[in-house]
Structure 1
């Protein structure tokens, strides 16, 4: 929009705001149709010219320049009528990011829209399976996040999710995936209760990043460099289910799976600037039985360490996990390199990573965030058959990529290949591509 047209619209917004109108700009004369609007806005302190004393009304106005005008209008909102105030609120919402960069809080707008805020995302995805003779998958998902601000220190967060299998019109479900309350104690300490997100593993949570997180409680500390979290609860997503005595639905459970076993966890990380070091600890409750099914979780203890080293646009990363309870098939590690960063607000930005992964069944407790299904080839005990299926160890390469196509629209792709399985047939390559939208 030409600056002179934009300022004419803003002048209508400030009609009735008192000021002595005197035009200070050498390139705006009394013969110009917008002379009065520019003069009034200058007198009110809403617009400023360039250092050479000109207004340059023929130029396009940038978002940053308009955000400056909105910020100055916000300082005069007590003089606006209801209609003008509503228009200003819309402008403040549209230019919220630019106002934040100017150090202007849109607190009045936040109060006016109430204590509830919404956002969401949607995904359309295709997955080519790594499993022999398994059908490919074509699905969609939409998530709606709602946040209710209880007071300055407390909020309640919820997430509604619908997932749909486009290859089966009857397969669709809607659920409340998350609901938790968060209370902050000052700037650095917080406590959460309820069904909440949790992430284990680098590369976005390859070890665990289930949609429904975990049910439990946690306390955290974060000062910007040092981050510490500890909690207790049950994970809600994993390939490892209960072992039952028979195929019957009400059959006796011989061994509980990951989803039904209480666990204690602790996480910590420190950002040194030149590198970031992290550590994880997980302890599943119950008594471990060495004659039990090795990969099942009662009494098992795992720890992990990870390291990220940024080098300009590159990032070198690696991670190691160890199950201290088992005597075999008890470690997992990966190492890789990434480049770039896909920014949701900047079309054309992208990131690309490649990693080598070596994962034992006993060090993986399922529920990872990767879209390809390579890790599902690891050893597990069938719920309906009392025999082992899958691999005890799996090595493979994995490539992940994201590119921002438009503002709030990203293309995501993965390719897992060159897999080598122990005690099982080698899986096929697995790839996936998805379109993702934020709103």
Structure 2
């Protein structure tokens, strides 16, 4: 392709970005049909001439020269609209090898195709869990997980997101390794303050991970005033909540819940207030919340409290702990350690904690009415985007049974990309 034709195409791509500019090249006159395109892109710093002041538009443009132009477009990508950025991303994908030779390292370049951005994580984990055939005794596991997230920008106010997940058991020789869509939903913004999710999306309650982490098949709307206040209300089916956790459910499946949440952060404080109401037969009306307070730049205290006022005996669950440090996947050597006390009664916890392993699983045993234990956790960044994680649950006391429950532990390497 002639260089002058390529420059005209690029100018058409970036139309509306820059005003008419003066011509810096001696061999491009004001009467040339491409005069405005060449002068405009030169003014933006996207095209350059030769040391003698010429442009030489009639010679063929090389892939290397075009890659240089694409790199400059990418450096100014925030000036373009969504359609223009999508075209630039496609060009970047086509000329990825040349851009790599130029030393261009733009965030997510290799992961972007059109309007779709890819990211993900992987984990290799050894852990212990309670074996249902050996009540209260821990069983060793070795497994892996990989999740690939696709974020597809539809327009300036709408995107579609999907999370593809694969779990693999490295210890047992079976073929029951699952690959499935863990999340798939549409998000739409109405103005600057209101957003809506529809489909299967993630929902979190509390501050500490005890209550709850689950996927919801439903719909929710969030109003965000600022960092200090947002309100979410939704309705749907929670994937991880079943009769193993809530004895009131019996053989019921797919119970539906309505929920509302207020959360925010201000200064050294972060908080959440939560309310969850299930169908009448579920005996679920849970309310509570969590608070994290930064005592210093390194130390913080945190805790959650929840009560199910619709279940017999008004069972509750709480945790309180102390943390030190701030772990960052991009900062090698950064770390965080914490210790917390956990106390939960049956029918207060409904399932789906964020711990990698937890003695809360004792509540799934039919005779157990409550469980108490200490949780110690540590995270350290051992290489860029590689995190070593460990947890240890000890001094486990299960109520309603004489079984002596084992302590639990887990160690994992976590990778983000």
Match of 2:45 in 1: 76
Task: Answer whether contact 1:329 1:360 (CA < 8 A) is retained.
Answer: no
Alignment of 1:50-65 (within 5 A): none
Match of 1:438 in 2: 416
What is the rounded CA distance, in whole Å, between the counterparts of 2:327 and 2:261 in structure 1? 26
Task: Answer whether contact 2:246 2:350 (CA < 8 A) is retained.
Answer: no
Instruction: Give the CA deviation at 1:240.
Output: 3.0
Instruction: Give the CA deviation at 1:242.
Output: 10
Match of 1:325 among 305, 310, 335: 310
Match of 1:418 among 395, 399, 413: 395
Alignment of 1:289-300 (within 5 A): 298-300=282-284
Match of 1:306 among 290, 311, 315: 290
Alignment of 1:386-425 (within 5 A): 389-424=366-401, 425=403
Task: Answer whether contact 2:128 2:357 (CA < 8 A) is retained.
Answer: yes
SS across alignment from 2:329:
coil
Instruction: Give the CA deviation at 1:162.
Output: 0.6
Instruction: Give the CA deviation at 1:86.
Output: 2.6
Instruction: Give the CA deviation at 1:341.
Output: 1.3
Instruction: Give the CA deviation at 1:329.
Output: 6.1
Q: 1:254 to 1:321 in 2, by over 3 A?
A: closer
Q: TM-score, normalised by structure 1?
A: 0.70
Match of 1:190 among 192, 195, 202: 195
1:167 aligns with 2:143: no
What is the rounded CA distance, in whole Å, between the counterparts of 1:358 and 1:216 in structure 2? 30
Match of 1:112 in 2: 88
Cα deviations across residues 59-118 of structure 1 (Å, max 9, x unaligned)? Answer: xxxxxxxxxxxxx9994125596644534656887xx8xx99xx9889765542211111
SS across alignment from 1:366:
coil
Match of 1:376 in 2: 361
Match of 2:33 in 1: none
Match of 2:273 in 1: 279
Structure 1 unaligned blocks of 5 or more: 1-16, 21-71, 245-252, 288-297, 381-388
Task: Answer whether contact 2:290 2:305 (CA < 8 A) is retained.
Answer: yes
Match of 2:231 in 1: 228
Higher percent of residues as strand = 2
1:141 aligns with 2:137: no
Range 371-380 or range 186-195, more displaced = 371-380
Q: 1:177 to 1:88 in 2, by over 3 A?
A: farther
Q: 1:139 to 1:86 in 2, by over 3 A?
A: same
Match of 2:333 in 1: 348
Q: Give the root-mean-square deviation of aligned CA atoms.
A: 3.0
What is the rounded CA distance, in whole Å, between the counterparts of 1:225 and 1:399 in structure 2? 30
Match of 2:221 among 216, 219, 222: 219
Q: 1:339 to 1:77 in 2, by over 3 A?
A: same
Task: Answer whether contact 2:237 2:256 (CA < 8 A) is retained.
Answer: yes
Task: Answer whether contact 2:138 2:407 (CA < 8 A) is retained.
Answer: no
Structure 2 unaligned blocks of 5 or more: 1-22, 27-40, 50-60, 90-113
SS across alignment from 1:363:
coil
Instruction: Give the CA deviation at 1:276.
Output: 2.3
What is the rounded CA distance, in whole Å, between the counterparts of 1:173 and 1:417 in structure 2? 31
Q: TM-score, normalised by structure 2?
A: 0.73
Cα deviations across residues 320-356 of structure 1 (Å, max 9, x unaligned)? Answer: 1011112326011111111111111110001111110
Cα deviations across residues 338-378 of structure 1 (Å, max 9, x unaligned)? Answer: 11111111100011111101111121001112111311101
Task: Answer whether contact 1:124 1:435 (CA < 8 A) is retained.
Answer: yes
Match of 2:262 among 268, 271, 286: 268
Task: Answer whether contact 2:219 2:235 (CA < 8 A) is retained.
Answer: yes
